[in-house]
Amino acid sequence: MAKGKMKKKSMRVDMTAMCDVSFLLLTFFVLTSTAKLPEPLPVDTPNSTVQTKLPESNLATVTIGEGKVFFGVLGKEDRKATLEKMGERYNMTFSEEEKQAFSYLEGIGSPMNELKGFLSLPADVRTKQSAAQKGIPTDSLDNQLKDWVQCARIVAKENNSLVLNVAIKGDAEEAYPQVKKVMDILQEQRVNKFFLVTGLRNEDF
């Protein structure tokens, strides 16, 4: 007796629902993610086997490299408030456009007398010339880094933060006296606890 042929069932799977979910997730991540700001002064940090995560808020970073010092604060509103405090201290007035431009900078390395000129540059030019800044003065006669740290601490206190966390990010090839000078400036303000940013390496090497 002849066997009846079995009809082949279609193996087609409707992927419409999965595609919709994928695009929804992609749209969500694109809209909620924030672009990483370019580093004002790229440095090659020394290696370390210690893993300590930096705070995600209330953090000031002092970057040292090529004999120059840069200073930055986390948070757009904190950056604006710190710039306003510095303007009051140096009898300078910054426009809303300048404050907005400053809020997008991860760090600044211009002396106060050159800061307005740097902020007036177009965004793309400012990004390209960021590392060409002279660096914040740290001399005893013109110690602007001390003022930046003090103003950032005042802003942190006004935001009901007891202590401003400070991180030092130095280049591995930077001369020790320059790093020590920054540490001395911090310790003069009784900032005796700070983070040292390093690159993670394997313990076997």
Cα 59 off chain centre by: 9
> Bridge partners of 62?
71, 168
Over residues 164-193, the mean pLDDT reads: 88
The token pair at 98 is 């300048």
Over residues 132-139, the mean pLDDT reads: 90
Helix, strand, coil distribution of the chain in percent, nearest 5: 40, 15, 45
79, burial (CB in 10 Å: exposed 0-12, middle 13-18, buried 19+): buried
Name the residue with higher pLDDT: 175 or 120.
120
pLDDT digits (tens, 9 = 90+) for 29-56: 666 655 555 666 776 777 776 677 878 8
pTM (predicted TM-score):
0.76
Name the residue with higher pLDDT: 165 or 159.
165
Q: What is the pLDDT of residue 32?
A: 66
Asked if the model's pLDDT at residue 205 lies above 50, the reply is: no
Q: What is the pLDDT of residue 108?
A: 92
Could you tell me whether strands 199-200 and 195-196 are parallel, antiparallel, or unpaired per DSSP bridges?
unpaired
CA distance 69 to 139: 11
DSSP state, residue 36: P
The token pair at 94 is 């910054």
The answer for residues whose C-beta is within 8 angstroms of residue 45's C-beta and 6 or more apart is 169, 170, 171, 172, 197, 198, 199
| DSSP string across 86-108 | HHHHTT----HHHHHHHHT-S-B
Name the residue with higher pLDDT: 102 or 13.
102
Cα 107 off chain centre by: 6
pLDDT digits (tens, 9 = 90+) for 56-66: 888 899 999 88
Q: What is the pLDDT of residue 127?
A: 82
Could you tell me whether strands 165-170 and 195-196 are parallel, antiparallel, or unpaired per DSSP bridges?
parallel
